[in-house]
Amino acid sequence: MSWMSQMLFLSTLIAVGLSWKALTRGLKKDPYSMHFIIPLFLSVAIILIEYFDKFGFDPNNRNIKDWVDGAVYLNNMLTPILLLATIYLLYRTWLTSKQELAQTQDILRKKEDLELLRSRIQLLNKNLDVTPSAYLDFKASVQVLKNNSETNESGFLDDLHSVINRVRGILLKDSAKPLRLDAHNTFDELIVLSASVGNKAPTFRDIFSMQSKHHATAYLRLMKSGLGDRKEEDIKRILNNLVLLLYKETYFSVVKEYKERNEVSDPSKYQDMLVAEMAANVRQLIENSDYEDVLSKEYQFHFTSVEFEGLKALADSNPL
């Protein structure tokens, strides 16, 4: 082996040794590329070693024909290898561009889904701050009668009338004769009383944020017991909670009725149903998206925990 071949061989070994860590990292990161690059590099090295071993190398040779023959030989041997390298580089460029395009499209789709979700959340928030319509008040009166029919004789109405008159006496200092309430306007009187003691008109946000382990009937009985021993602020809060609980039970009942009939004849009823429809639409958008986890976290970010749980229960009761 000529001295030039020996130098190339040693240089190859040194280069491989020095770059061994880089090569092993490359094999783990991109094994397909390294499986192509290493044989390519070794092929070039072998061709050069063989050439200089067979024909030697004399930098002082002034015979132009020897230089031309050497150039032609190396060109013919290395051109196919360099062509393969060029093709592979073009393939890698195309593959990288394809991956970057896919990533860009993924980012754009995610951004589009997030913007659509935020616009729907904005509309949902707007409708959550609306107060119930007169239609829902009427349905709440019906719900009171329904609760009463589920108790023995007229237990729910009797308890509700008793609470209303006792709260009037405690908070409004009304010593007049107890009101004789009609079964059909009891809920209206309850709302009037709640407003009279300083409670604000409930919005849908307040209604769906109402968390209670008890049905309205059980809650009313708990409220009735020991009412006179409670502080005025506690009585106001409990009274407001009772109103919200009756509204919530009424709303879920109306949603069920709406889904069964699949029609809305009253414009005010449609306004009330907007919250349920929007909550269901947001749920559907999240579930149909490829970025369900991201959108779900974004949805939760815009609401308190009790609001989110209330909207979740509403969407569960009104699947599209």
Dump pLDDT digits (tens) for 54-103: 776 666 767 777 777 777 877 777 777 778 778 877 887 888 889 899 99
Per DSSP, the three-state class of 240 is helix
To the nearest whole percent, how much of the chain has pLDDT over 70? 76
- Which distant-in-sequence residues (6+ apart) come within 8 Å of 227 by Cβ? 163, 166, 167, 170, 235
**What is the spatial distance between Cα 171 and Cα 173, in angstroms, rounded to a whole number?**
6
Specify the range with the lowest mean pLDDT, choosing from 23-37, 123-137, 167-181, 249-263.
23-37
User: What pLDDT was estimated at residue 124?
Assistant: 93
pLDDT category at 29 given cuts 50, 70, 90 is low
What DSSP assignment string belongs to 55-116? H---TT---HHHHHHHHHHHHHHHHHHHHHHHHHHHHHHHHHHHHHHHHHHHHHHHHHHHHH
Reply yes or no on whether the pLDDT at 119 is more than 90.
Answer: yes
**What is the spatial distance between Cα 189 and Cα 181, in angstroms, rounded to a whole number?**
8
**What is the spatial distance between Cα 54 and Cα 32, in angstroms, rounded to a whole number?**
34
- How many beta carbons lie within 10 A of that of residue 98, not counting itself? 10
3-state secondary structure 7-58: HHHHHHHHHHHHCHHHHHHHHHHCHHHHHHHHHHHHHHHHHHHHHHHHHCCC
- Which distant-in-sequence residues (6+ apart) come within 8 Å of 165 by Cβ? 178, 179
Reply yes or no on whether the pLDDT at 18 is more than 50.
Answer: no
pLDDT category at 217 given cuts 50, 70, 90 is confident
Q: For 173-200, b where at least 16 C-beta lie within 10 A, e where not — what string?
A: eeeeeeeebeeeebbbbbbebbeebebe
Tens-place pLDDT, residues 157-184: 878 888 888 888 777 776 555 556 566 7
Reply yes or no on whether the pLDDT at 23 is more than 60.
Answer: no
pLDDT category at 188 given cuts 50, 70, 90 is confident
User: What pLDDT was estimated at residue 129?
Assistant: 93
Reply yes or no on whether the pLDDT at 292 is more than 60.
Answer: yes
Burial of 102 (0-12, 13-18, 19+ CB in 10 A): exposed
Higher-pLDDT residue of 31 and 107 is 107
- How many beta carbons lie within 10 A of that of residue 209, not counting itself? 21
User: What pLDDT was estimated at residue 178?
Assistant: 56
When pLDDT is averaged across residues 252-272 and rounded to a whole number, the result is: 72
User: What pLDDT was estimated at residue 30?
Assistant: 61
